[in-house]
Amino acid sequence: NAGVTQTPKFRVLKTGQSMTLLCAQDMNHEYMYWYRQDPGMGLRLIHYSVGEGTTAKGEVPDGYNVSRLKKQNFLLGLESAAPSQTSVYFCASSSGQYNSPLHFGNGTRLTVT
Amino acid sequence: AQSVTQLDSQVPVFEEAPVELRCNYSSSVSVYLFWYVQYPNQGLQLLLKYLSGSTLVKGINGFEAEFNKSQTSFHLRKPSVHISDTAEYFCAVGNTGGFKTIFGAGTRLFVKA
């Protein structure tokens, strides 16, 4: 029962470097999401996808890009990392129904120096 | 627009004591309410959800929550907590207008021996 798997678990970047976070789910879910978690702010939605080949902006999309080339994978990219992007990133998936819960990965802790 | 307010950022409590974590929401349409729990260094997992019907909802690990439409609240309760309940708890709301879930800022429950 893998569920939602995120890689890597930890990463340290220098300002201006780029990286890609990978999320994979094995539940055949249509919807996938990327959130960031910062102390005292809960989870904020970065980007989401309602199906293969589609993506949309969430609440805090600036500085990030995403791609969903395969239904099971959702990639989050940082083209030029900034210290403000230091955070814990969570991927989640759901069946897409408005009353369906989210299934989360274990997170990626990113530090930008 | 929807919003979720968790009224306490931290709640310390002694083991075997009862606890209530408070959550208020605002929404102009019908809502679906969730409580998630996050243990250290893990992703969020669903505790319970309210979709419709009985306003008292039972979840995992002995937790329950009561939906109060007139007070727009969805408080989480447990009659007797254990050390293992130490975690961060998030209230969240979804609605029929879309598939995005809005999270509160979280309440850190700390159970002391």
Could B43 and A43 be called an inter-chain contact, meaning their C-beta atoms sit closer than 8 Å?
A: no
Amino acid B94: pLDDT: 83
Query: Which class for A92: exposed (0-12), middle (13-18), buried (19 or more C-beta within 10 A)?
Result: buried
Quick one: pLDDT at residue A1?
64
Tens digits of residue pLDDT in A102-111: 999 999 999 9
What is the rounded average pLDDT for all residues in chain A?
Answer: 93
Predicted local confidence at residue B97, as pLDDT = 53
Per-residue pLDDT reduced to its tens digit, B52-95: 888 899 999 999 999 998 999 999 999 999 999 999 999 998 86
Give the percent of chain B with pLDDT over 70: 95
Q: Is the pLDDT of residue A27 over 90?
A: yes
- For A32-67, the pLDDT digits (tens) are 999 999 988 889 999 999 899 999 999 899 999 999
Say which range, A2-16, A42-56, B6-20, B92-106, has the weakest mean pLDDT: B92-106
Q: Long-range contacts for B57-63 (Cβ within 8 Å, ≥24 apart)?
A: B59/B35, B61/B37, B61/B85, B63/B35
- B40 to chain A: nearest residue by CA? A106
Interface list for chain B against chain A, based on CB atoms closer than 8 Å: 4, 9, 32, 34, 36, 41-46, 49, 51, 90, 94-96, 98-101, 103-106
